[in-house]
């Protein structure tokens, strides 16, 4: 008798062709990886945190369905912003109809729009800034250096944000990750609100750039982690495209080609959810087989691509993996 729940049974019964079938195949492939003792990297691009993927992704983390994360600086911070300012967010269902003046009016109200959702600057950005700057400065005063995600873990685990919580803490994937001290790679962290704020303090002479560990250090950290954890394989589950996916996947050819460690195993599974179409020069829309030519995937690596909206697809795959 199946141990799967209603959602899993529904997609197995009705998701039989095209992208729907690819979704089921990818979910089963992910499950097979974990059952064989492999580990899984999940990469988050786009605005997954603002889409509140944390409601189910946090449970994936708690249930050991993901062993390492690669995400943009925006996803790193926006999960925490949602935690502390949720009631101040505004949804704009008719965003396609907004005039330039109406967009300007949102800015004047301190609302930064992400498609149909506006993030409140004062309650979200500034609330975090007040506390994270103190943590940055305290570390520098002690001569300590950390990665961006490590500073965020310190912020969450210190308890200073508890007075602001506006959602159930179990729905924050960053809090779930902090509790496990899960490794996170944040390539291009500078391209985020907190990254911009950190740069402003460097410009003002109040912080040193070196207090924040760099992208090169993230790559060397990932290289060591991959080397130490790839005995039974490491899979790659990519939500969206961009730097959150391309940066970590490159650790394999770097180890194999540049370090000349020819016993480095390829990624043992690959799945990408993306609505980017294959076009000239596109990375996000490139078919998985292209990655064979770059030494990222093997000929026999299970490969899946689901050409759909990740906010629809990812929760369904996660639900399957959680036996929902």
Residue 274 has a pLDDT of 87
pLDDT of residue 281: 73
Per-residue pLDDT, 147: 98
| pTM listed for this prediction | 0.96
> Which pLDDT value is given to residue 2?
62
Q: How would you list the strands of the sheet with 90-91, edge to edge?
A: 90-91, 117-120, 111-114
* Angstrom distance (rounded) from CA 72 to CA 190: 9
Q: What are phi and psi of 206, to 5 degrees?
A: -95, -15
**How do the pLDDT tens digits run along the chain, 324 residues long?**
469 999 999 999 999 999 999 999 999 999 999 999 999 999 999 999 999 999 999 999 999 999 999 999 999 999 999 999 999 999 999 999 999 999 999 999 999 999 999 999 999 988 999 999 999 999 999 999 999 999 999 999 999 999 999 999 999 999 999 999 999 999 999 999 999 999 999 999 999 999 999 999 999 999 999 999 999 999 999 999 899 999 999 999 999 999 999 999 999 999 999 877 777 777 677 788 889 899 999 999 999 999 999 999 999 999 999 999
Answer for the pair 226, 252: CB distance below 8 angstroms, yes or no: yes
Tell me if 184 sits within 8 A of 149, measured CB to CB.
yes
CA neighbours closer than 13 Å in the CB half-sphere of residue 129: 16
What pLDDT does 289 receive?
84
Fold designation for 6-72+98-322: Deoxyhypusine Synthase (3.40.910)
Main-chain dihedrals φ then ψ at residue 79, nearest 5 degrees: -65, -40
The pLDDT, as a whole number, for residue 1 is 46
**Res 120: pLDDT:** 95
> Which structure tokens are listed for 192?
């985020």
Block residue for tokens 């009016």: 105
């Amino acid at each position: 008798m199946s141990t799967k729940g209603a959602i899993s049974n529904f997609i197995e019964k009705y998701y039989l062709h095209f992208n729907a079938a690819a979704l089921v195949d990818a979910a089963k492939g992910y499950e097979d990886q974990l059952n064989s003792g492999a580990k899984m990297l999940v990469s988050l691009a786009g605005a997954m945190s603002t889409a509140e993927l944390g409601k189910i992704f946090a449970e994936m983390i708690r249930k050991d369905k993901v062993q390492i994360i690669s995400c943009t600086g925006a996803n790193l911070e926006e999960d925490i912003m949602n935690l502390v300012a949720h009631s101040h967010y505004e949804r704009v269902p008719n965003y396609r109809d907004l005039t330039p003046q109406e967009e300007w009016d949102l800015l004047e109200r301190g609302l930064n729009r992400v498609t149909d959702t506006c993030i409140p600057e004062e309650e979200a950005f500034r609330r975090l800034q007040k506390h994270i700057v103190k943590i940055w400065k305290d570390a520098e005063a002690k001569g300590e250096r950390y990665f961006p995600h490590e500073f965020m873990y310190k912020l969450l685990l210190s308890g200073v944000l508890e007075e602001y919580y506006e959602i159930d803490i179990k729905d924050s994937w960053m809090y779930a990750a902090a509790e496990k001290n899960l490794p996170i790679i944040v390539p291009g962290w500078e391209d985020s609100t907190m990254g911009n704020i950190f740069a402003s303090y460097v410009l003002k002479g109040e912080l040193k750039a070196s207090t924040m560990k760099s992208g090169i250090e993230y790559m060397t950290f990932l290289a060591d982690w991959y080397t130490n954890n790839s005995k039974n394989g490491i899979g790659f589950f990519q939500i969206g495209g961009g730097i959150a996916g391309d940066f970590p996947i490159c650790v394999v050819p770097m180890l194999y080609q540049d370090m000349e460690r020819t016993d480095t195993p390829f990624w043992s599974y690959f799945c990408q959810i993306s609505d980017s179409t294959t076009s000239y020069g596109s990375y996000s829309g490139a078919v998985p087989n292209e990655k064979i030519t770059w030494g990222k995937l093997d000929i026999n690596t299970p490969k899946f691509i689901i050409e759909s909206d990740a906010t629809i697809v990812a929760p369904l795959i996660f639900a399957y993996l959680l036996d929902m």
